[in-house]
Chain A
Amino acid sequence: MRKETKLTVNNLKISFRTDAGKVQAVRNISFDLYEGETLAIVGESGSGKSVTSKAIMGISAGNSILEGGEILYNGQDLLRIPEAEMHKLRGDKVAMIFQDPLSSLNPIMRIGRQITEAMLLKNKANRKEGRATFNSTMALLSETVKEAIAQDPNAGFTAAEVDSYVKAFDSFGTGALKLENGYNAACTAAEELVSIVEDYLFLAEKKQKVDVVSTLGLVEHKLKDMAESKFFAGRYEQQINEHLAGLKDVKRIEKAKVTIGDSFKRVVHMTAVRKDPERETVELLEQIRQTAEKMIAQEEYDFFSVGYYLNKNPNEDLSAMPVEQVNAMANEFFKDNFLTAFTDMERIAVRHSSAKALENKKKAIGTLQEAIDFFKAGNFTEQNAKEVYKNATKSVMASIDNLTVVKDNVAHTFGGALEREVDNYFFYIKNNPKEELRFARQTAKREALLAKGKQVDWQVVPKSIIEPEEQIETIVRVISRVLDKFKADIENEQTIDVDKRCTELIEFLKSKASQMVDVLTKRIAKEKAIKLMEEVGIPEARVRYRQYPFEFSGGMRQRIVIAIALSANPDILICDEPTTALDVTIQAQILELINRLKEQHNLSIIFITHDLGVVANMADRIAVMYAGKIVEYGTAKEVFYNPKHPYTWALLASMPDLDTNEKLDAIPGTPPNMIYPPVGDAFAERNKYALEIDFEQDPPMFEVSPTHYAATWLLHPNAPKVEMPKIITERIKRMEERGDKRGE
């Protein structure tokens, strides 16, 4: 069964600028991450595993240089999208858990605030963004329609009509929003009410001091808030009123209890009437909570339809009807009176917009072809080149259909990518002679020193040169990628489904509108946070919510970090050595937790570690990294039971398991200095199975099975037969025996 690919990394290349030279941290790695699977990246420190994960998150260090490759998520290249777009993904779609929980938590902030902080900020930003996007999309729509009408007077609409429709959408839209806002406010009040009551009950159960009077006051306040939105409270009016009356009673008694010193008699009198006032309070609060929960659980209205309906028939009372009925009725009405006409209008806009885009694409093809020819001819000045790429960018940008909801990534990132490559070209033209000179000078110096018989413990920094022709090829590749895409688009001209796009657009507008009024208050955020904390296995979450990070043990801290990562409901979770700082028992707990959450949320996980035992537990597939390259990758079974690369052998042989008695096969030496990446296979120097060719040529990936690849010359058909180290073969035999025993 082939799973859906969530994330694709292609030929990623990252270096770091340091004083000593350029460190090549990641050299050309590619992998896919499937939905709902765990991909483990294994390797020692400095092998580039963290660098890769940071690049995915878009948090690479300041001195990093992105040399090439792409990271595709949802059709977007995470390396090239602007920071504003990345901002929406980071933490929201792609979340990360770091190695040391203490250093990723703020020591002077309560845990609760740290969990809710991101939720609240994100909510605020979403509201703002929703409003802006709604307005701009609406304006674009009306503009496009008007343009279309101006060209084709027989379209069936006049400009005035368009204006009126847009205005109507706006006005009843506002009405609908008011409705939704009221509904949301009531729901918020109800949710907060639940939270207040739970807080109270929790503290009362713990026999801790609670300010009963003020709690009751808060409850009363929230009840009134709930009743405020007439449209929804109608159904609950009676209950709410009953609760309010009950509250009044209870409040009086509690108040009396507080002032017990002054009016003892009255209290005695009242307690005579009511046997157990405390229980009464609790019971009443329970009842109120139930009402509130019922209210939260009720079905949502179709706000736009209902809003339109109420706009036209302002005097009708819908609160008595069941929600589905109201929705159906309002929907019908909305469709008949408005939506059909509006969709017609929209259709014109979409058609016009896509036609225009197509037209522009046809034009752009010419421009792009010219640009390709221009760059291919070579021999251009900086000014000329700039003009050409600006022109090309302009024509490409003009050919983007702005009324599509899903944006065309290739065209959007074209400008930036082209500009960078062109800049690079001139940089290398300028820099190449200097680099040659430096290289020659350093080599001469080294040789001179060596000739004198002195010891030289430094090496010549290799040339970082890119030939202009190569760079031009890269530029042409960038342009032709867009060109091919455009050509394909023009061919598929007829396949545009206008109706589908229209509904998409309306849904988009509606969702953006309701984003504006989706308010998350601190209290609700708290309730959500407490639920999350319980989910990751923190006992007494309500107490711990108010504690500081130092009051937690290591394992609990890591759970908090996981809770924060999960608070945004991400698609992809990157775990960067999440258990290295933890004990065996705690480690096992955290791994179990991550596995459970993966099942529950259908997460795709990238799990980075150097502990092969942990990997065996977690991973569905494994990528072994060494010196910035993936040297072997396959499913967990394949890598552990049938390892092919000598580095994987060495890793397996260098760690003892419970049955190991013989001397460990330590890997001699240390990883190579990546300022001077070795020629050929980077592992050759430490590899006792190294062949001569390993020192000359980098091995390609050889296929072992369709899911299992390894980069070692030993897999070449002409290579000599080499056996795995004894320590591993014996271990695998033991493992298989154990497996057989279990199978019986």
Chain B
Amino acid sequence: MVNNNEVLLKVDHLCQYFSMGHKDMKAVDDVSFEIKKGEAFGLVGESGCGKTTTGRTIIKLNEITSGNVYFKGQRVCAGTRSYKDAIKQAKKDFSEKKITREELSEIVSKNKVLIREAKASGKDIDKNYAKSLLEELNAEFAQKFESAKDNPQQLKALKKEYKVRQRVAKNSKLITRIQMIFQDPIASLDPRMTVRDIIAEGLVIQGITDKEYINEKVYEILEMVGLVREHADRYPHEFSGGQRQRIGIARAVIMQPEMIIADEPISALDVSIQAQVINLLNDLRDRLGLTILFIAHDLSVVKYFSDRIGVMYFGKMVELADSDELFKNPLHPYTRSLLSAIPLPDPIYEKQRTRVTYNPLVEHDYSVDQPTFREISPGHFVQCNDAEEAKYRQMLK
């Protein structure tokens, strides 16, 4: 489906820990993956495995602990824990006389630079993005000013437009090119705002004040997601579940994102409505060329919707492959157990289905050889150690 190889989002050794007093809860632990432009990437796993946290960290709703997230080749967020740990480890090694003083100081200074860069990148990225937008704008308007030089009236209007566009550009952030759709449409919409306000909020925050422009934009988006103009002045409680989710989608789409993170967008909806929302997301994807990170626990829906799928288990990515490949050749025992649990609308099959149980203590022996995330066949990654890698390769043959 996707032919280009342009990587839009790159998640690199992402760790997200939550402090639980005396120790850390590793919600996401060392997860890496890439999403290509125009692709739908599915993230599955049982509840509590960190798939939602991954989505929220990418869009900077959580303070990233360690690792980097690159969007369009630029680092949008970076954590410092790994560098700090490296310094700690070096100091410990030094005290145990494993490394020399010179080596220690080299490691410390190197990591300190990295920490500084990581901290700065969060701020710089927006500055740079605004700057590049401004430059584009200036280039565009320089031409326009040139052509309208003789017409003072037109020049005045152009100047006015330039000012507005300039303000918007200054307020823009790269991260707004990624938008999120939340699971529960009731909880994620403010009950005291009209639909117009909800959808237009992003534009208003960007600094657009032109009411007519906003209205037009809102109407356009409403029609795009299958609602009508009249709905703009109503409140969320006046809508059914499916319509509410459409509002949530409209709110995300109006920011002209390149990527959408859909966090279980259909699990709170009725059966007959789920298909409507899936079809809508598919339409939008085709029409706007969106890239979608689709987080869900319903495997048949993920299979239907996504080009590639990553399976997560307790904060780790255990398997990543093309969706057809994953369902045809599941390698990791957890994936196999997950696939064996999918209920299908086929009574005879269901009566015979045997569920594979997954017990990490029985399945893996990681006492000596720690597992890493490895590519077994082109595009098919599995979390395994040497012995398992050999076994998996054998299985694929």
Contacts and interface: CB of A to CB of B under 8 A. Distances in A.
Interface stretch (A460-468, A583-591, A710-718): A583-591
A587 B351 CA distance: 15
B304 interface: yes
B297 A637 contact: no
A641 B347 CA distance: 9
B242 A584 contact: no
A656 interface: yes
Interface string A650-674: 1111111110110111111011000
B353 interface: yes
Given A44-B272, A612-B345, A658 B297 contact: no
Interface string A588-619: 11011000000000000000001111111101
A130 interface: no
Nearest to B341: A588
A680 interface: no
A585 B349 contact: no
A654 B271 contact: yes
A587 B347 contact: no
B327 interface: yes
Interface stretch (A143-151, A218-226, A392-400, A735-743): A735-743
Interface stretch (B61-69, B171-179, B182-190, B274-282): B274-282
Say which size band chain A's interface belongs to: 35 or more
A640 interface: yes
Given A44-B270, A583-B47, A655-B300, A663 B279 contact: yes
A586 B358 CA distance: 12
B350 interface: yes
A678 interface: no
A45 B385 CA distance: 47
B2 interface: no
Nearest to B339: A658
B344 interface: yes
A585 B350 contact: no
A739 B299 contact: no
Contacts of B337: 585
Contact of A616 (B272, B343, B358): B343
B347 A584 contact: no
Interface residues of B, number: 42
The B interface, classified by DSSP as helix, strand, loop or mixed, is: helix
B276 A616 contact: no
A44 B276 CA distance: 14
Contacts of A653: 275
B352 interface: yes
A634 to B, nearest CB: 11
Nearest to B242: A670
B279 A585 contact: no
**Which label, helix, strand, loop or mixed, suits the secondary structure of the A interface?**
helix
B355 interface: yes
Nearest to B47: A583
Interface string A499-511: 0000000000000
Interface string B257-289: 000000000000011111110110010000000
Nearest to B305: A656
A40 to B, nearest CB: 10
Given A617-B343, A739-B349, A584 B275 contact: no
B25 interface: no
Contacts of A586: 46
A643 to B, nearest CB: 10
Contacts of A655: 271, 274-275, 300-301, 345
Contacts of A637: 347-348
Contact of A640 (B243, B298, B301, B347): B347
B193 interface: no
Interface string A670-685: 1100000000000000
B355 to A, nearest CB: 5
Contacts of A616: 343-347, 349-350
Contacts of A652: 345
Given A654-B271, A655-B271, A666 B279 contact: yes
A362 B211 CA distance: 85
Given A583-B297, A658-B327, A666 B345 contact: no
B240 interface: yes
A648 to B, nearest CB: 11
Contacts of A415: none
B353 A617 contact: yes
Given A619-B347, A650-B272, A670-B242, 12 more contacts: A584-B297, A584-B342, A588-B355, A613-B343, A616-B344, A616-B349, A640-B345, A654-B272, A655-B301, A656-B303, A663-B282, A735-B349
Interface of B: 46-47, 240, 242-243, 270-276, 278-279, 282, 297-301, 303-305, 327, 337-338, 340-353, 355, 358
Interface of A: 44-45, 554, 583-589, 591-592, 610-617, 619, 636-637, 640-641, 650-658, 660-661, 663-668, 670-671, 731, 735, 738-739, 742
11 contacts: A583-B46, A610-B271, A611-B343, A613-B300, A619-B347, A650-B272, A652-B345, A658-B344, A660-B300, A663-B282, A735-B349
A-B complex: 9 closest residue pairs judged by Cβ atoms: A613-B343, A656-B304, A654-B275, A666-B275, A588-B341, A636-B347, A583-B46, A667-B272, A617-B350
